[in-house]
Amino acid sequence: MTKRSIVQIDQDRCDGCGACVNACAEGAIQIVNGKAQLINEIYCDGLGACLGSCPKGAITIVEKEAQPFDEEANKKHLELIKIKEVPSCECLSFAKNHKLNNWPIQLKLISVNASFLKDAHLLIAADCTAFSCPNFHKEILKDKKLIIACPKLDDAKFYIEKLTEIFNLNNIKAITVLRMTVPCCAGLTWIIKEALNKSDKSISFEENIIDIDGTMKSY
Provide the pLDDT confidence category of residue 39 given band limits of 50, 70 and 90. very high
Q: In a 10 Å sphere around its CB, with 0-12 CB exposed, 13-18 middle and 19+ buried, how is residue 102 labelled?
A: buried
State pLDDT tens for residues 47-63: 988 888 888 999 999 99
Q: Among residues 56, 69, 68, 71, which one has the least CA distance to residue 17?
A: 56
Distance separating alpha carbons of residues 158 and 164, to the nearest angstrom = 10
State pLDDT tens for residues 157-212: 999 999 999 999 999 999 999 999 998 899 999 999 999 999 989 999 999 999 98
pLDDT value, residue 83: 44
Which pTM value belongs to this model? 0.62
